[in-house]
Amino acid sequence: MPGAGVKILNKRIRSVNSTKQITKAMKMVAAAKLNRSQGRMLAARPYSQKLIKLVEQLAGASDGANPLFEVREVKRRLYVVITSDKGLCGSYNMNLIKLAQKTIDASVESGVETTLLTVGKKAGDYFAKRGYQVVERHDEYNGDATAQRGQDVGDYIVDAFLAESVDEVRVVYAEFVSTMTQTPVDRPVLPIAPEDTLGDDGDEEESDNISYIWEPGKGQLFDVLLPLYLRNRVFMTLMEAFTSEHAARMTSMSAATENAGELIDALTLQRNRERQAAITAELLDIVGGANAL
């Protein structure tokens, strides 16, 4: 009969196998969300790129007169920190929080009044528990970026900047490089620097060769398009951050599933050795008894 050690090992194997099934299912869910998020991000890029080109065309007409270009002495700074609402995504949240805390602490030490707007329960809970001034939280997004949610965050930071409640706005989020790589970055949002309106593809010659007819006028259109540009920029940032979250969770669950499989193999080998040792001991007892008779 198998010994107590074999029974314990069988119980551990069943437990690890159950965990493996859970992590495998979570990996599949994260992969589906990643695929959908990437698709939406790619679908939104043409609009974003065209909007950037239009703003680039109009930037020269404003002569920096738009208040969103106004560079003020930084006495009040707002940080937008984007993390996930849930865990099980490896070091994704911790890397973001470490970068955010480092830059926020540096801002506070320099004498700047620093406030936070958090997107994601992890960041909201972390900074609220440690006494940071969190002026607004969004804990209900669950890794799903929509145009309305991008507008909600964008409107808040634009209104705060125009009301001079803050002099600078920065965002800390995970830049999506690939499925395996997500890089935490700290980027300025407001005031808008002139180079921020340039397209990522550097296709300046194409823009210069296109002749537009502006109605009612460049300045008036610029005042309308610039807030749209900022809201779209926030929306694309949310899309990139949430795509990074799904990629990190899929990678983490994939690694957990592989580790569970390796652990099951090791426990199975150990169980077989225990069982073989028990059988050998019983055979020796039988042979010894027969010899004694």
- Write out the E strands in 101-243: 113-119, 134-138, 168-176, 182-190
Q: Cα-flanking dihedrals φ and ψ of residue 11, to 5°?
A: -65, -40
**Could you please report the per-residue DSSP string of 21-62?**
HHHHHHHHHHHHHHHHHHHHHHHHHHHHHHHHHHHHHHHHHH
Amino acid at 222: F
> β-strands 182-190, 168-176: how paired?
antiparallel
Active site residue 89: yes
Measure the CA–CA gap between 77 and 167, rounded to whole angstroms. 6
Active-site choice (54, 89, 160, 192): 89
- How many degrees, rounded to 5, is the angle at CA 56 between CA 53 and CA 59? 155
Residues 221 and 205: their CA atoms lie apart, in Å, by: 22
Quote the strand ranges of 48-181, DSSP E. 76-82, 113-119, 134-138, 168-176
Enzyme catalytic residues: 89
